[in-house]
Structure 1
């Protein structure tokens, strides 16, 4: 989501006209807007449907003199078009004097019986797996993709504003959108050309990128990563289509008959194939649905053409419009192949008609299909390098042949405009401001250093009082093969300096062999995670939270040094091996003790733990997508599972290490998209420590005394309330994305989202470990008699940025100062 804000905030900054343009509003006799009315150019299959507010826009490269407007229950009207451009029309539809049978069939809660549109849908479902490239043993095709961002709703006031003073030349390339009719200014364009190979017998596919061309922000992989995540591939035949991390019900879904109304509107020849036209629109508001129409062949029941437009009432933030259209090519009587895929998203802070925003547009063209060319399975295992420098240096001859769809004049003008823009100091100032706000770092280009991050500058906790921090990192580019980073901090209450520094070096790009190490001496709130921290730069929010629940005085002085190797021999499978040496002691000994029984100590008790560990970790993230090839890559998606298996060996005596023990840990995190019912996130963690260790090395069930909702913690547990050496925890959190609230009339307009969660923890603590630790001020207990559990009810999307959770404790209510109920919250920009 941060990437979206970068694109929207910073990049908020025609010469080819189609032959016919028309726009306006459709109303009934009382002046009320008619949503989902059908508008079509007479004697054509080019049309659109009005939005929730009765508004429409339609254009064509051909010249038409009449549009036909129709809707069930109203008289069909033919409206002459006196000019090529006709805006702000107001068309009044009159109710039909005679109620036809079709009105009964297609309005309200639709009857499935005797509706010809539903009968056609059933045949589409039966045939959907017989169309496209899946019909052949092997396939290959060329794929050309262009992604463009535009500033939209340009008016004279914007052009003359002080913001763009000195940048007026940018507006020389204005054009109007064929989907919305609004003026727009292109400012970003990325082109790529690739060849795709697939084998349905091996169930394998690979894509070789042969060329990539960027219009000017090639250094900003955050934009590229955002685009990659935004425009992930989809199949219209699937029951649900995922956009912006939400599942929209497809109009071709088997559950669509419970979500949409369908109308068989027309039939005609398209490319010598007789096709039916079916209009669809949602039954209810606020749900994740589309409106639009599709043309389907009468024999293969393959889709020839479809358009889908998200309704304005859909429960999605920061996006005013989503428009999708796909065209399919007729290969023969039985095969229809995807020819062109177009998607437009209008990002805006408001859904009002005249609000300004940013268009994100992707056009993908497919051609040169070939089938049943057999290749060995090894062929599909060897992928090309998408970051090969030659791919980014293709000449004009290559692109002339590679463009399966030519650039229009405004797209071609982007390259020239941005070359000029980069030379303007005012533009660079805007770029720097937004870059700092989005990344948190101030770039010092001449030294190749970034200062920051600025969001960690100030903090507060019981041990340090007010704290200030300053840091820096090396930065030559986003694909650096090495990076150094560090910080210094000072606490005004304890009057001590703290520090942290780390280094990462990519030794081999193919296997992603990375050497890393660092040292950290600081104050931290341990016990927020069941796994021991080896992060020498990270800092938990609990260590700097201004407001806490109860006394937040169980803080630890930590001096941690690490050295490790990591490699990725197979995609998304990483192996880590490393060593760490840590010294742990209480930061507030009067309130919190890490003392343990030590026969070698003159007092019989030691208050500081010194420990050397060797750790081996296996990490598997199937489906994870990244971008970049440097030592630090950007993640594109978050819908992948994560499995971690870790083995730690503590070695006594080495570097004066205190304890000999072994620890085995496993965790599994999985997001689940439950069709139209939202998103479930589940996490399972298991662990056991073999050997005797003190409190500082035990596994603490993660409590949360902050006012922030932190996933994988227990918000009604205090820090160190439960301590274990053997544990199992489970977290389940489901976000319905407003599906329930949308059915409640009084809540529907607020677009709220409901979240429910259930958490549980079980653990044991041996008598030997209890006896070894000697804390005098906290009890050492584990949830071994019964599983500790909590549940929560949350309301999200309050003012589009706020989520509040109401947390309830299920048991162990007799524990000292047990918190039965608590409220936590979080802020964030989410779609």
Structure 2
């Protein structure tokens, strides 16, 4: 109880703080308070306006104790106070925070490292009455004990799906900006989750929570949220200087903030700034309910920072501030009122920090590295980690209960079946021991040449071998009655340097201009291209041997030696001796033998290891460059000797409030005289499905060049425009625009190889269009995405080359295309 020492009257609404922690409360109308904490410090402090602050000792050995405070009045007679309208007092504090950023921001540290303990939990929530009637949910209820029940802070029942703990050591160097993380131990209990290295990389350490609120924008879920303490704080937020508060041994300004426009990607919350150093001490930020973000009901970030000193200089003076406690809580929901919800919580605590210990750049080349014993059980290790690292954030009673519920869930047969279906939906493969069967998107297709195409494929995983990797498939067409196949064998020498050697061979039906090499990794478009009328098809046999290595982090080198054949199913011939004109002998098939070298430069690329597969997480603002040189060698049995150079560059640029701009730049050049199929057929897309990084108003192989430059640019405005239109902003639609341009040409020597002479059966051969080097092929588009949170509609205009091509096909100048995608 808190009372006035002079009158004995209770003191209402006095501040009660456990010194050295974040725990605190207020007294009620009768001056009484109750404070419940997991970990005690040595004293409690009480303060109230007009009274002197009072501290009392706390006995840590007693689980419960009563403390009464008698506050001494310490008021002063005040003279007249005149308040005049002026600048928001919070602005002065925020300007000082930005001014002192060069002293307090962690980016000023040359290097830092530390140990982290991370706890992650995921549970189903908001199960609607209609969803509870789902057969799977009914079986879950039948299989769970009636006594099992957990609830969130809103009273919704939770069904735990995952609980993980991870201990890691992270290392950061500022110049160059590199980081590394060694995941030392992980244990995971979850539905559809194996206790393996991939899970530890996704859920462990600092992968998910590394937000720096000194930055102008905070990346979350693929979006850029304006920071309330960034350079543009005044443009995005309203601020209110609420009070000065004691946090541990520091007196801090408490500033509340909320976005000027609720639909913007901005936060609502509080920030505490040290009154002496103007450093960011603590922040609680949540995403507003009206923010233009999909599938998120609530998302809260809590971050606590502490000053650190140079571990090597020994001066004892603070060198900057680092986050020592992080917590992220997210409530996710699906599409529609009757969809399931999900609650995810992630807590991280850092300790044993070492400042400005600079290690060689080569030390940081592997960004996430699980140790070999990462998943080996070790109860003594976890007992020590929870005591020394986790502290109050270690597993509690509710976590232990969640563990038991997860084990019961995994024993339910219906849940085991759902796990298998979910695994296929996410990865495209079904794991069967040391083999993965799939990918399932390639399993079935139907087209005019093969009829119904059935394909069965597999790959080995690290349960089969951590060094030998086998891949293969067998396909059959019901119309052409032909088997197609592919096989590959690789040997992985090093994961850290990503060094492997392999051989592959295949016989299959492909479409001109839609090979995996030309598509550039767009696997879904490649799969869909096997449907419908199969124009420009050819049969090909491919044999290749390759060597790939990454000698320096971010530089991947590949050398390839191979041969391939081209046997067209469409009417096509070319001149063997073009100087003879129509007297030249003709041929339709091609034998090509070649060798190539390729360099891929991806600065600051992040990736994780999934067994024997390396999954890229992209780069941070840096472009990805690929340069390849290919030499066709007649000496190795090929029909032509030629040289080819190709270049590819792609990047996504963050433009702050203007949205995101992404581009793909490709270029190619061959000075040699060779048939059209060995040149550069440009990727058209006449289908009704929108596919980025193609020309959506161009026919398949409508144009071919021996030298070209192409650029695909796409800009997502996010909510920049639509958030300001009252009738539209509630729909969370987003504006998107694109420009696709192509400059190309074909030399007269290569044009002379083509012939219009009819084939022996009387068919007129296919002719390929060429571009005028002075006139680019140009498309522009605009559209709306996030319709019903999944659909995108895009209008595409073709602006040049509007006359029918050499094969007489009409040009469709305008089309509206659709695409479906899931994204926040």
Secondary structure of 1:281's counterpart equals: strand
Secondary structure of 1:117's counterpart equals: helix
Give the Å deviation of 1:522: 2.0
Question: Residue 784 of structure 1 corresponds to which residue in structure 2?
Answer: 773
Find the partner of 1:359 among 332, 335, 343. Answer: 343
Within 1, Cα distance between the matches of 2:506 and 2:522? 5
**1:647 maps onto 2:633 in alignment:** no
**1:395 maps onto 2:378 in alignment:** yes
Question: Residue 162 of structure 1 corresponds to which residue in structure 2?
Answer: 138
Find the partner of 1:572 among 547, 551, 554. Answer: 554
Question: Residue 745 of structure 1 corresponds to which residue in structure 2?
Answer: 726
TM-score, normalised relative to structure 1: 0.79
Counterparts of 1:325-724 in structure 2, within 5 Å, are: 325-329=302-306, 336-350=321-335, 356-371=340-355, 374=357, 377=360, 380-381=363-364, 386-393=369-376, 395-403=378-386, 404-405=389-390, 406-419=394-407, 421-445=409-433, 448-475=434-461, 477=463, 480-528=466-514, 540-541=526-527, 543-546=529-532, 553-589=535-571, 593-597=572-576, 604-628=585-609, 630-637=611-618, 641-655=623-637, 657-724=638-705
Deviates more, 1:376-385 or 1:263-272: 376-385
**1:186 maps onto 2:160 in alignment:** yes
Deviates more, 1:463-472 or 1:609-618: 463-472
Deviates more, 1:472-481 or 1:779-788: 472-481
Unaligned stretches of 5+ residues in structure 2: 1-11, 31-81, 309-315, 757-764
> Are 1:340 and 1:366, in contact at CA under 8 Å, matched by a contact in 2?
yes
Task: Work out the number of aligned pairs and report it.
Answer: 726
Within 2, Cα distance between the matches of 1:138 and 1:782? 53
Question: Residue 245 of structure 1 corresponds to which residue in structure 2?
Answer: 222
Give the Å deviation of 1:318: 1.5
Give the Å deviation of 1:503: 2.6
Q: Which string of whole-angstrom CA distances, capped at 9 and with x for unpartnered residues, describes residues 605-644 of structure 1?
A: 1110110111111111222222126431223346553110
Within 2, Cα distance between the matches of 1:121 and 1:291? 16
Find the partner of 2:294 among 317, 334, 348. Answer: 317
> Are 1:117 and 1:262, in contact at CA under 8 Å, matched by a contact in 2?
yes
Secondary structure of 1:690's counterpart equals: coil
Q: Which string of whole-angstrom CA distances, capped at 9 and with x for unpartnered residues, describes residues 25-55 of structure 1?
A: xxxxxxxxxxxxxxxx954599xxxxxxxxx
Q: Which has the larger radius of gyration?
A: 2
**1:773 maps onto 2:759 in alignment:** no
Question: Residue 185 of structure 2 corresponds to which residue in structure 1?
Answer: 211
Q: Which string of whole-angstrom CA distances, capped at 9 and with x for unpartnered residues, describes residues 318-351 of structure 1?
A: 2221111112236699664422111111121158
Within 2, Cα distance between the matches of 1:607 and 1:317? 53
Within 1, Cα distance between the matches of 2:430 and 2:586? 48
Within 2, Cα distance between the matches of 1:201 and 1:622? 14
Within 2, Cα distance between the matches of 1:492 and 1:298? 77
> Are 1:529 and 1:702, in contact at CA under 8 Å, matched by a contact in 2?
no
Secondary structure of 1:433's counterpart equals: helix
Within 2, Cα distance between the matches of 1:211 and 1:677? 42
Q: Which string of whole-angstrom CA distances, capped at 9 and with x for unpartnered residues, describes residues 205-245 of structure 1?
A: 54443333323533567766665798252101111000111
CA distance 1:267–1:273, shift in 2 (3 Å): same
Within 2, Cα distance between the matches of 1:537 and 1:315? 29
Find the partner of 1:798 among 771, 787, 791. Answer: 787
Within 2, Cα distance between the matches of 1:126 and 1:668? 37
Within 2, Cα distance between the matches of 1:556 and 1:206? 47
Deviates more, 1:739-748 or 1:525-534: 525-534
CA distance 1:238–1:382, shift in 2 (3 Å): closer
Question: Residue 51 of structure 1 corresponds to which residue in structure 2?
Answer: none
> Are 2:455 and 2:473, in contact at CA under 8 Å, matched by a contact in 1?
yes
> Are 2:201 and 2:368, in contact at CA under 8 Å, matched by a contact in 1?
no
**1:260 maps onto 2:229 in alignment:** no
Within 1, Cα distance between the matches of 2:296 and 2:792? 19
Within 1, Cα distance between the matches of 2:301 and 2:227? 12
CA distance 1:342–1:478, shift in 2 (3 Å): farther
TM-score, normalised relative to structure 2: 0.80
Give the Å deviation of 1:358: 1.4
> Are 1:486 and 1:537, in contact at CA under 8 Å, matched by a contact in 2?
no
CA distance 1:490–1:742, shift in 2 (3 Å): same
Question: Residue 172 of structure 1 corresponds to which residue in structure 2?
Answer: 148
Find the partner of 1:303 among 277, 280, 283. Answer: 280
**1:146 maps onto 2:122 in alignment:** no
> Are 1:320 and 1:350, in contact at CA under 8 Å, matched by a contact in 2?
no
> Are 1:504 and 1:631, in contact at CA under 8 Å, matched by a contact in 2?
no
Within 2, Cα distance between the matches of 1:666 and 1:260? 44
Report the aligned-residue RMSD.
3.6
Secondary structure of 1:393's counterpart equals: coil
Within 1, Cα distance between the matches of 2:29 and 2:569? 79
> Are 1:290 and 1:310, in contact at CA under 8 Å, matched by a contact in 2?
yes
Deviates more, 1:260-269 or 1:771-780: 771-780
CA distance 1:280–1:792, shift in 2 (3 Å): same
Within 1, Cα distance between the matches of 2:602 and 2:321? 35
Give the Å deviation of 1:717: 1.4
Secondary structure of 1:686's counterpart equals: strand
Within 2, Cα distance between the matches of 1:167 and 1:61? 42
Within 1, Cα distance between the matches of 2:815 and 2:479? 30
Secondary structure of 1:772's counterpart equals: coil
